[in-house]
Structure 1
Amino acid sequence: MSLLRSFVACFFLAPTAEACDLALALAVDVSGSVDSNEYRIQMDGLAAGLRDPIVSEALVRGNARLMLVQWTGASRQKVTIPWTHMDSFEAIDSFARQVAADARVWRNFSTAIGEALETTMSSFSEVTECKRHLIDISGDGVSNEGVEPSEIHDVLRGKGVTVNAIAIEESEPDLTAYFFENVIVGEGAFVVSAAGFEDYPARIRKKLLREVTQQTAGLK
């Protein structure tokens, strides 16, 4: 364990719990508006965020489960990395490597946010032992195909699934407002704005910090 991780463990985080605190599904937008470079920025940024010392410490101490989903148009959502137990820093490093190396499944399709949420939501039946069920969805556009995301909010609430979002406002400056009104759901749900894909790595790191530590003060 690094000196920084040891410091975090001693002074900022609660003692290790045996139960799973968090099941976190990472849903990444691979629709046609995302080019190959932007896809790479997302995956590398997400991998780096997971390796952040405070994020990784919280995931291990919470016995978290992580899963990666790629999504785009209707009927095109796929779990590319199944639920994985974050029971050690080695497990986190391995998961982060898989994220960075994850091959893109689709290109040049529409944006079906509602179906992405439905597909991801169904996977939580595999991690019922976890206290919190959370979908972390990224996107750079509004839903333009399939079921509207707001139409499944009642189902998400009923299943106890919270949805947070990161709005990548590369070409749609009002996307944060759209996500706030139509996508996020659940107690404490929030949207983080990225001005563009270059801003994504820093914003996803702050988003992960907020999600895995439940410390919301000062994070914007």
Structure 2
Amino acid sequence: MVRLACLLGLLWPGIAQADCRLALVLALDVSASVDATEYNLQRLGTSAALDSSDVRHAILEGAPGHVALAVYEWSGHYQQKLHLDWTALRTHGDIDRAVLALGQMTRSHDEFPTSVGQALAYGASVLERGPDCDRRVIDMSGDGVNNYGFRPGNAYRHFPFQDVVVNGLVILGDDPDVLGFYHGEVLHGPGAFLEIANGFADFQNAMTRKLHREISDIILGTGPTARPRPRG
């Protein structure tokens, strides 16, 4: 099999690098608890994190194969909006276009509750029609607990989450239960982890750390049961 792959690489240059190593979905919270200033910190923070030198290096100089990215916003039961459909990040130009698209996002909803279960179900559907990659990851960001509709456990039982890892980016602020909720109900799959933002002003830093870890496939601790430590 290895010799065949090498031969194909000689006959059709680039085919050996054509495989996708990671399908990554970013899910951004736009529920009513996120005000306009916080939304802009999240929008611009996501764009800047993808544009960071560490993340670019992890995408382009990491393991063989490329990274595919999709990004959507979520809030209520039916309030999900895909802002970046599946995009292969093979070159700096590809990353530049994704960075621009994320920086120019226009908020889709602003007055709906926090429906994490439905957001996860939507993410599963995005992955279902996505590229065939070695790893599939959903990156859930949020500042509150599920307060409407079915909970994450129901999404994991009834939607296609086999071989899918769900990581969390918790935004600390007004909801004292959000960290425990993400740790206890949102994390899913081997090696799932939490990253913590100390408010929306820290979102860019947290997202940069998180993207670098996800793309580099860095495994710390013992998996989803490892207790996250807030960063000062």
2:84 to 81, 90, 93: 81
2:193 to 177, 185, 190: 190
**Secondary structure of the structure 1 residue equivalent to 2:20:** coil
Matched, 1:26 2:23: no
Pairwise mapping of residues 138-217 of structure 1 onto structure 2 (< 5 A)?
Answer: 138-155=141-158, 158-217=161-220
Q: CA deviation at 1:199?
A: 1.3
Pairwise mapping of residues 20-169 of structure 1 onto structure 2 (< 5 A)?
Answer: 20-61=20-61, 62-155=65-158, 158-169=161-172
For 1:9, the equivalent position in structure 2 comes to none
1:58·1:213 contact (CA, 8 Å) conserved in 2?
yes
* Structure-2 separation of matches of 1:128 and 1:39: 29
1:50·1:56 contact (CA, 8 Å) conserved in 2?
yes
**Secondary structure of the structure 1 residue equivalent to 2:23:** strand
2:30·2:73 contact (CA, 8 Å) conserved in 1?
yes
Pair 1:214–1:56, CA change in 2 (3 A):
same
Q: CA deviation at 1:143?
A: 0.6
Q: Deviations over 1:136-163 (max 9, x none)?
A: 0100100111111122224567521110
Q: CA deviation at 1:178?
A: 1.0
2:72·2:84 contact (CA, 8 Å) conserved in 1?
yes
Q: CA deviation at 1:174?
A: 3.2
Q: CA deviation at 1:172?
A: 1.6
* Structure-2 separation of matches of 1:76 and 1:44: 21
**Secondary structure of the structure 2 residue equivalent to 1:176:** helix
Structure 1 length-normalised TM: 0.87
Q: CA deviation at 1:128?
A: 4.1
* Structure-1 separation of matches of 2:219 and 2:163: 20
Which amino acid letter does the alignment assign opposite residue 34 of structure 2? V
In terms of mean alpha carbon deviation, does 149-158 or 139-148 score higher? Answer: 149-158
Count of paired positions: 205
**Aligned alpha-carbon RMSD (Å):** 1.9
Following superposition, which runs of at least 4 residues in structure 1 exceed 3 angstroms of deviation? 154-158, 216-220
Q: Deviations over 1:37-81 (max 9, x none)?
A: 101101111111111222112223541110111100111112121
2:72·2:80 contact (CA, 8 Å) conserved in 1?
yes
Identical-pair percentage: 34
Give 5+ residue unaligned stretches, structure 1.
1-15
* Structure-2 separation of matches of 1:128 and 1:17: 15
Give 5+ residue unaligned stretches, structure 2.
1-15, 222-227
2:191·2:219 contact (CA, 8 Å) conserved in 1?
no
In terms of mean alpha carbon deviation, does 60-69 or 128-137 score higher? Answer: 60-69
Larger radius of gyration: 2
Q: CA deviation at 1:192?
A: 1.2
